Structure formats: structure tokens, C-alpha cells
Amino acid sequence: MQLLFRENLARVCKFQTNHGEIETPTVMPVINPNLNFLTERELRELGAQAVITNSYIIKRTESLSEYAMKYGVHKLINFNGPIMTDSGTFQSYVYGDIEYNNREIVDFQRKIGSDIITILDIFSKPEDNYNTSKMAVEETYKRLKEINIGKDLIAGPIQGSIYPDLRQFSAELMSEAPYLPIGGVVPLLESYRYKDLVNVIINSKLHSDFSRPVHLFGGGHPMFFAMSILLGVDIFDSASYIKYAKDNRILYQEGTRSLKDIRDFPEWSPIYGKYKPDELLREKEGVRIKELSKHNLKAIFMEINEIKERIYENTLYQYVHERAHSHPSLYKAYIEIMNNGDILPYQSLSSKSPFFFYDEISFKNPWIQRIISFTINLIKNNKRTILLTKKQWKPGMNILDSVKKLYESINGNILVPWNGIYIPIELENTYPVGQMVSSDIISRSYKENYIDKLKSVNSEVEFYNDDINYKDKIRDFDHEKIKKISCFQFGTQELFSDNDKIIKSKATGHIRNIMGENNLIATMRNDGFFTLGIEGGKILKNLKKYPELRIVVPGESGEYNAKGYNVFFKFVEDFDENIISGNDVLVVDPDDNLYAVGKATVSGRELKYYNDGVAVKVHVGIK
């Protein structure tokens, strides 16, 4: 997988098959080998890059099998792009045992020229007990091992029912396969058990190889796409577009409607202007099914394209929040995601888009959780901590002279009110503090509980009052500010000293550059964080133990990076697993010689998986 863009676990990637490239996220329309309503041209015009068909149906149908063996599956279904073939697992789940074994069905898929070949896994149902589900996981892995993967794109489904440890176990085992479907989820989708489903996806994704495409088998309804993709799903397959068409139902991004219950088609629909709903109801069945199928696929790929744009903009989180309100079961699943701390390490340092605060659920967002955690740890030192009120401070407001004098005369903490919580005043410009649009819908009890939490870790917490006497100046606000931001970003305040020169923008008065004796240490970006210069890289290297904040490359690659060129995944030999995506890192060799500083494109937990693409966007090389 070549990584193009990401937001948290969501990503836009490319990978290669024998019949062309696939860009994810995407949907593979399910093609019935007995009856294909749409031509390749129509499928591609609607957005399809690849399709999926069933090798079991082909193999057990003599005429189809003979044709596919002679001319190939691409000729059989008249699609010259990437084709994935399923193995018959779902038919086995629905109808009982099938007449072919795993080796036979995999061998058949190879012979008919499938681009993505699926093993015959064991379907785990949500109601299966633990031991039955575990046996299915172990047998599925056994079947993966009994075939020679070679250079084929073999799909090894992750099973394990609704048991988190089994999904984790299965994901670790099946990561030997180059393509990873998450199986056994159709019953959860059909019964709207989205809360269970998001846990299945999280436990499958976080314990699998991130360089593999992740496919949600049967997850073909657009209302669940955004939430799935946020959790790392890359590919879906959809038979719903034609099933709904046969039932005279039409898809929209937020749900389905009956053809007889609508007045007209939306303007984006390929049917708009061609038919009225009542006219299409009177059409021949074949015509009606084809037209409705085209509409349904259009709805599917419109949602996929919107999600891709959201990932590029870094606004998928807020889009998922919007989508979650389309159904109570989706909203319950969204709350489950927000309460899951396991995805926090994958969140980037900041975003190029403002953060939308909707309600108290937004406090669960990893960006806000990082600030809350930092604040709690900061005041645990039991130094005097003063809480300002909205009269003294609000985001974007110039600090009052009285507050600045107070700050510079005490060796303590000053926290300012921000959206119902209190944060260090030094973080006034860091993302998302100065880049947030808020509804201000926060209950009084939440605010009070947060203050009680602060007081529970520091008995010296008090509110600001006008009677406080200002003493002599013992520290400088600007220097303390850059130190605190450095502590938040890099885990150390010692990147900067009181002797460093702070250069501000003449237009805005905001801090821009921090200079050492002769060299640039760092530049403050618009998101309030720092971009390191080489001097800053040297200082950090001496402050942080190897391999903290480092990405290690061999000497040859390092010489290339020292000239300012990017670091590619394939050259990474070691790294700090705690690296945050979007944060600045040091590029060094195994002897800890510094070559460059730059921005990590993924988190440390992902670095070990990718082999294709840029790992560090280098700002400046040492040469």
C-alpha cells in the first residue's frame, strides 16, 4: 500500500494488481456471474475501479466454469480491471457445507486469473460461543498456511465473532496474507449492531499489518462508510445496490427509501430527468432494476468521493459526527468510538482544518484528550495554580497587562478557561485551542466536575481575584510560552533557554522564529507548534535518549536525507514507537549521527508496516 493522505486511521492509498491500480477507499460492486446488468463502461462511469464476483458459483456452474477456465474470469464477466473472487464461505454459512475444499477453490481462482484470491475461511456468527469462534480462527489460519501464497494477492479473512481477543489473535495470524478482509460481519450489519461492529473493526485493524488493504466483507451501505473508514477500513463490497433495486428501493447516503414513496429523484441521480418514480415503477422489470442499480451505485460512490475529500481536508472526524446522527444505532457506535482510547496514538499532532466542537462528546476527541492529560500532569507538581475567568481571557484575546504581570511575578501555573475546561495559558495558540469553532453547548455540571478534578490533583488551585499582589518580575511570558509548547510537543522544556532570541511578526505580534547564538532553533507555525531547524534538531538529540523522537536510516540513505531529500519507508531501520503523526522528528543513523529534521507522515505504531511512500517530509538536511 502506498500512502497518499491520512487522518487518524483513515487513509487514501494505492496498491497494484495484475489488472491495474486500485485507489482506496473504494467499493467493489458484486457481479453475479450468471447475470450482469451493467457494462464495464457504465460501472467505471459510476466510479467503480474493481469488482468482486463469486468463484464458487462459477465453479459449480458447468458452463461458467468451462468458459472461465478457457478465457478467464475477466472475459466471463466482461470487466478488464481488477477482479476479486470470493470463495463460497458465505454460501457455506447460509446453506451448509459446500462441495469443494480450500485448496480446490483457491486453485480454481488462480486458474481463472483472479486478481485477489480468497481462501475458504470459516464464518464466525455473532451468537457463536467462544470455543467455536476460536476453532474457526485457528482453522482459517490453518487453511491460509496450507496454500502457497507466492506473489498472489491472497485474501485471508479475519474472524473471531464479537470476541475482542479473538479478533486480535486472528488479525495477528492472518497478517501473513497480503490482503485482509474482516469477515463474519453481515449479521451485525443486518441487525444494526454497529456498536459491536466498530469494536470488531478496531480490534481487527489495530492488530493487523498496516501495509495490507483492509476490506469489510458485506459492508456495502453508504451510511456506515465514513465510520468504518475512520477506523481504518479501505475497501467494501456491495451487493446492496442490486438487491435494493430488485426490491424497488433506492439508496441515499443516509439510508434507503422505497421507490413508491418518493416524488422525484435527486438531481445527482443518473435517473433524474429520464424517469419520474411512478414512470419507472411501470417499466419492465429488467429496465427498472438496471436504472435503480445505476442510481444506487451513484449514491455509493458519491459518499466514497466525499469521504476521500474529507480525509484530504482532515475533516473526517466531524463528518462522522454528522453522519452518526442519521440513525440511533450509528450514534451509539460513534459514542463507543469516542470512548475508545486505543485509537488516540494514531491521531495527528494537528490539522489543517478548524476543529468543530459540537457537544460534550467532543471532549473525547484525541486532540482535546491530549490537552486535558497534559494539563493534569502539569499541575500535579502542587505549585500554585490560578484559574482565570472569561473576563481575563478568551481565545484570540491579547493577554491583559494585569494577567501578564501576575504570570511573570509567580513561579506557578495559570490556567485559562477554554470551552468548558481549563488549559495552560501558554497553549493559547496551539491546535485546536486557537483553531476551534464551538457550539458552546456544555453543561454546568461538566465544568464544575472538571474544576473538582483539578483540585483533586492539586490542593493549591484557586480562582483569580483582583486582590492578588504582583511581585517583582521573575520570568518572561514569551520564553515560558515557547518552553511549555516544547514540553507539550516534544516532552522537554529545555529545547529553548532564556538567552534565545524571540522574533515576532511585525504584522500580528505572534512569535515566529526562535534563534540561538547564531542559528535558527525553530519556527512557530500557524497551528502553534514548532518546525525544527537543524540547531533545534541538535539540541533535541542531546536532550532525548536514543531512539526517542528519532527515525533511524542507514548511512547511505542518511547522506541523501542530509541534502534535504525525504525519507522513504523502505529505508527506515528503527524508530520511536511513540512518534505522533505530523510531529517533527530527527533523522539519524544507527550511531545517532544527525542527518536531517522533518515531519513524520504516520505515527510510530504504523512506521514498521509501510514499505512504499514517504515516511518523513524533510524540512532541512544538515548539509
Round to whole Å and give the CA distance between 487 and 481. 10
Give per-residue burial for 381-391: e unless 16+ CB within 10 Å, then b.
eeeebbbbeee
Q: What's 2-339's CATH class?
A: alpha beta
* Tens-digit pLDDT profile for residues 324-365: 999 999 999 999 999 998 998 999 999 989 999 998 999 999
pLDDT at 398 over 80: no
- Cα 335 from Cα 360, distance rounded (Å): 11
**The pLDDT of residue 396:** 62
Q: Which segments of the chain belong to CATH 3.20.20.105?
A: 2-339
**What's the mean per-residue pLDDT of the chain?**
93
Q: In what order do the strands lie in the sheet with 10-17?
A: 2-7, 10-17, 20-24
pLDDT at 397: 62
CA 562 to chain centre: 31
Which H helix or E strand runs over 489?
helix 477-490
Residue-wise pLDDT tens digits, 543-556 = 999 999 999 999 99
pLDDT digit string (tens) for 452-492?
Answer: 999 999 999 999 887 777 778 999 999 999 999 999 999 99
Is 195 a residue whose pLDDT tops 90? Answer: yes
Three-state SS for 281? helix
Q: Does domain 491-621 have CATH number 2.30.130.10?
A: yes
Q: What is the pLDDT of residue 95?
A: 59
Please determine, for residue 390, whether its predicted confidence score (pLDDT) is greater than 90.
no
Q: Is 227 helix (H, G, I), strand (E, B) or coil?
A: helix
Q: What is the amino acid identity at position 488?
A: F
pLDDT score of 413: 94
Q: Read out DSSP for 451-467?
A: HHHHHHH-TTEEE--TT
Q: Is 96 exposed, middle or buried (0-12, 13-18, 19+ CB in 10 A)?
A: exposed
Give start-end residues of each CATH 2.30.130.10 domain in the chain.
491-621
Instruction: Output the pLDDT for position 99.
Output: 79
Tell me the pLDDT band of 96, cut-offs 50, 70 and 90: low
Q: Which residues neighbour 475 within 8 Å (Cβ) at sequence distance 6 or greater? A: 407, 408, 411
Q: Provide the annotated active-site residues.
A: 86
**H helical segments located in 102-129:** 102-111
The Cα 478–Cα 408 span in angstroms is 10
Pairing of strands 180-182, 214-216: parallel
Helices (H), 314-443: 316-324, 328-338, 366-379, 401-409
At residue 493, does pLDDT exceed 80? yes
Section 365-386 average pLDDT: 93
